[in-house]
Chains A and B, each alone.
Chain A
Amino acid sequence: MQDAISRATGLLTATEIDKRFGANRVLRSVSLTLAPGEVHTLMGENGAGKSTLFRILAGIHQPDAGQINLDGTLLELRNPCAAYDQGIYLVPQEPALLKELSVAENMFLGMLPTRGRFPARIDWKTIRTKAQDALSTLGLDVDVRDDAKHLSIAQQQLVECAKALLRGCRIILFDEPTSPLTSREVGILFGNMRRLREQGCTLGFISHRMDEVTEISDRVSVLRDGAVTDEVDRDGFDRARLVRAMVGRELIFDRKRAHRTPKGEPVLSVRGLAHEPVFSGVDFDVRPGEILGFSGLIGAGRTEIAEAVCGLRTKSAGTVTLSGKDITAASIGDIIAAGLVYVPEDRARHGVILPMSIRDNATAGQIGRLQRKSGILNRKREVEIATDTLARYGVRARGIDQPVGQLSGGNQQKVVFGKWMSTNPKIAILDEPTRGVDVGAKDEIYKLIEELSAKGMAIIVISSELEELIALCDRVIAIYGGKIAAELHGTDITAARVGAAFLGAGTH
């Protein structure tokens, strides 16, 4: 560690970094400076590019353009090891400790000291002593001989931190470390971050929680759509300004749902739904023809709540009623038959079978109904349904035999819709319906959703995109930390208010 101090002061600059993943441009000419002795925080919506930027600085990804300098020297970080050699360490969002190995061995992974020439034996004694010392410096009281699988997430993060110090790293980047932690654990982490800062380390930090950000940061950079939109010093912190920088983009669509208040008995009623510690006390109703939005950050519990409602996930308390019928303990098949469908976020994993044709996918949800008495499938009917799906949902494809994997994201999503809507549900929960869909197709999907709602279907849209919620929803529920933090109606649904609500900054 002593060497490292003389080696570098730790002024890390990234200049005009560009990064694409496939067709998706994640970072657009981003510049960032991390100075020694400061905690520099990145804020931004999901998908704004924060993690990617840190991963580039830590050598996990390589930028397509731009350069990284450390104390004025140009760095080429081909892999994480190259970054360690330059004193840069990323504490990942999910600590990647090797579960079956001891804590001590994890800390020395890839650099196990040996003694003796031949055979060179591993010096377990040194490893244990040094590992134990490094952990006690961070205030972590665990036996380093214990298997890493016995550690909590908070402990694993501190072990990662100790790994950085053992490698002589003076620039430590924390990728959203606090989201799985309790407030007490956050306190301990911050205590350690402060001490490292006093020792002149350069610290990077990612968080969504406004309170934490204002507590620990010396400087905040806000990313939006892969570009830095604002950079604020400690004395310039202002929640409103940060929220605006995060979410205040020009809306691509000038859409706003006409204000309506659907009437009629709720088609879906959820009361006291809970599964500690993921979510608790969730109450809401949806009426026929209503479009209800679920906003919130990834990890806030939106998807988990939806899955619990649909019987895909266990719940510890609460009731779910569909059209007056209690479906809390019903099987997934019964729930679908009762008229509730859930269209998941990850199309490729749960929604469509990519190598299969549009025909096979469109009819997969009702294959039982296509059987003749003899047990042989009714091909003619199959073709009719698939052709109907193409026409009704405006799927652009060469024909019904084209594999779904060859379609664009938007057209894939339309096939998914067609598949689920062919079961004539009363209510549909759509999780991130336009993720990975281009702008034009988004608009078409919005129209589809509106048509379905006009026919009386109740719809819940889970979305991280503010403009999507604004464009579509009659009502928006903001989920924060597994609880309903706010409910907004009609004209109250504005970017600023929804954004503030799901960042946990309060609505008023």
Chain B
Amino acid sequence: MSTTIAATPEPNQRAKSRQRRELREVTLLVATFVVIFGVGLLRPSFMSFSNLEFMVLSSVVLGLVGISQTFVIMTRGIDLSVSAVLGLSAMVFGLLSTTSNMPVWQALPLCMVMGAVLGCFNGVLVAWAKIPPIIATLGTYSLYGGLTFIYSNGLQVDQVSQDFANFGNANLVPGLPVPTPVIALLIVSILAWFVLNHMKFGRTILAIGNNASAAYNAGISVRRTLLGVYTISGALAAFSGLIFVAYTGSATATTGTGDHVELQSIAVALIGGTAIAGGRGNLAGTVIGSVFLSVVITALVFLQVPAIWYSAGEGAMILIAVTLGARHGAKS
């Protein structure tokens, strides 16, 4: 070819953008360790094994919901109902574990089905009724949260069956101090990575997030993909609710919604480098981001910051993450 259009003005742009993506993960990891060592110097018990294990464990629930939130945000959507689904699942199956002695192996598929149905409803609202995701899931947030109150009817979960407690705390691999929830997060992360990078469904999600009408023109079924994404989001939220109740042994009618898990999950996705405008996601960033958030929240406890500051602090972190994310997007 005699005439060619030269490569991009800066030939190493690809390398750069990839570097930036990796930089985000490295920055987050470094920040996490800085917080751990910094707080550890002031409060040595912060660096104890039991506290480190606690922080990792408490990031699992957030990590799982964060992954599903990342998928939703990649489609240019948002799912505010995840915390309500999480709470409903924790309440329903926490109670069932003692009242009707439901074993974990039954509760596990049942809670996923329940979450999938609730998520599917979100998907119908978004993809067929064409309600903006933020409004649709704000409505179902209230609706599902209300169902938790109705179902619990004043009751709360104080303890779960031994079966559940074992599932929540046991170390599946003998000799390795890695509890089941952490393994669950690892498996879900790997599955999510595989779906996103090596399956059509994952690529379709990104295509829709980039430009839904171009994706439609290319023959991609936008509505079915959205339905799938919201369904998975519901199922994963319910799954993390089960993990939560099995691990902590307690749930109330405000589990999930009370801690603003929906906002936290959005925060970790954005901190992790997922673009709020859709089309670009970073699963590793989300998982590291959830560890980071969990470390920061625990650090506040250790530093004896009054609890009334947590909510405001979390909100500020979300805003910082979104602002930095927006600037990052503008630069690329």
Residues of A near any B CB (own CB < 8 A)? 60, 79-81, 84, 96-101, 105, 109-112, 114, 119-122, 124, 136, 139-143, 145-147, 149-152, 154-155, 158, 185, 187-188, 191
> Across the interface, which residues of A come within 8 angstroms of B1, CB to CB?
136, 139, 141
> Across the interface, which residues of B come within 8 angstroms of A84, CB to CB?
219
Q: Is B199 in contact with A119, judged by CB distance below 8 angstroms?
A: yes
Per a CB cutoff under 8 Å, which of B3, B7, B206, B216 touches A143?
Answer: B7
Per a CB cutoff under 8 Å, which of B3, B17, B207, B275 touches A191?
Answer: B3
Q: Is B219 in contact with A111, judged by CB distance below 8 angstroms?
A: yes
**Known contacts A105-B203, A187-B3; A98 and B14 CB within 8 A of each other:** no
Q: Is B8 in contact with A151, judged by CB distance below 8 angstroms?
A: yes
Of residues 1 through 53 on chain B, the ones whose CB sits less than 8 Å from some CB of chain A are 1, 3-8, 13-14, 17
Q: Is A188 in contact with B206, judged by CB distance below 8 angstroms?
A: no
> Across the interface, which residues of B come within 8 angstroms of A154, CB to CB?
5
Q: B198 at interface (Cβ–Cβ under 8 A)?
A: yes
Bound Cα distance A152, B6 (Å): 10
Q: List 20 A-B contacts (CB under 8 A).
A: A79-B217, A80-B217, A80-B218, A84-B219, A96-B211, A98-B210, A109-B207, A109-B214, A109-B220, A111-B219, A119-B199, A122-B198, A136-B1, A139-B1, A139-B3, A146-B8, A147-B14, A149-B332, A150-B17, A191-B3
Q: B66 at interface (Cβ–Cβ under 8 A)?
A: no
Q: Is A101 in contact with B3, judged by CB distance below 8 angstroms?
A: no
Q: Which residue of A lies closest to B195 (CB)?
A: A119
Per a CB cutoff under 8 Å, which of B4, B17, B199, B215 touches A140?
Answer: B4
Of residues 186 through 218 on chain B, the ones whose CB sits less than 8 Å from some CB of chain A are 194, 197-200, 203, 206-207, 209-211, 213-218
Per a CB cutoff under 8 Å, which of A139, A150, A185, A191 touches B8?
Answer: A150
> Across the interface, which residues of A come within 8 angstroms of B332, CB to CB?
149
Q: Is A122 in contact with B14, judged by CB distance below 8 angstroms?
A: no
> Across the interface, which residues of B come within 8 angstroms of A188, CB to CB?
3-5
Q: B279 at interface (Cβ–Cβ under 8 A)?
A: yes
| Residue of B5, B7, B8, B214 ringed by the most chain A CB atoms within 10 A | B5
Bound Cα distance A151, B217 (Å): 21
- B residues contacting the other copy or chain, number (CB 8 A): 33
**Known contacts A146-B13, A150-B13; A109 and B215 CB within 8 A of each other:** yes
Minimal beta-carbon separation of A119 from chain B (angstroms)? 6
Q: Is B13 in contact with A100, judged by CB distance below 8 angstroms?
A: no
Q: Is A140 in contact with B5, judged by CB distance below 8 angstroms?
A: yes
Bound Cα distance A188, B6 (Å): 11
Q: Is B199 in contact with A185, judged by CB distance below 8 angstroms?
A: no
Minimal beta-carbon separation of B220 from chain A (angstroms)? 5
Q: Is B210 in contact with A146, judged by CB distance below 8 angstroms?
A: no
**Known contacts A109-B215, A110-B220; A99 and B279 CB within 8 A of each other:** yes
Q: Is B198 in contact with A121, judged by CB distance below 8 angstroms?
A: yes
Per a CB cutoff under 8 Å, which of B3, B198, B210, B214 touches A100?
Answer: B210
Bound Cα distance A119, B191 (Å): 11
Minimal beta-carbon separation of B285 from chain A (angstroms)? 15
Per a CB cutoff under 8 Å, which of A124, A141, A145, A191 touches B7?
Answer: A141
**Known contacts A100-B279, A109-B207, A146-B14; A120 and B7 CB within 8 A of each other:** no
Q: Is A143 in contact with B215, judged by CB distance below 8 angstroms?
A: no
Q: Is A112 in contact with B4, judged by CB distance below 8 angstroms?
A: no
Bound Cα distance A236, B171 (Å): 85
Q: Is A98 in contact with B199, judged by CB distance below 8 angstroms?
A: no
Q: Is A100 in contact with B215, judged by CB distance below 8 angstroms?
A: no
> Across the interface, which residues of B come within 8 angstroms of A100, CB to CB?
206, 209-210, 275, 279-280
Q: Is A112 in contact with B200, judged by CB distance below 8 angstroms?
A: yes
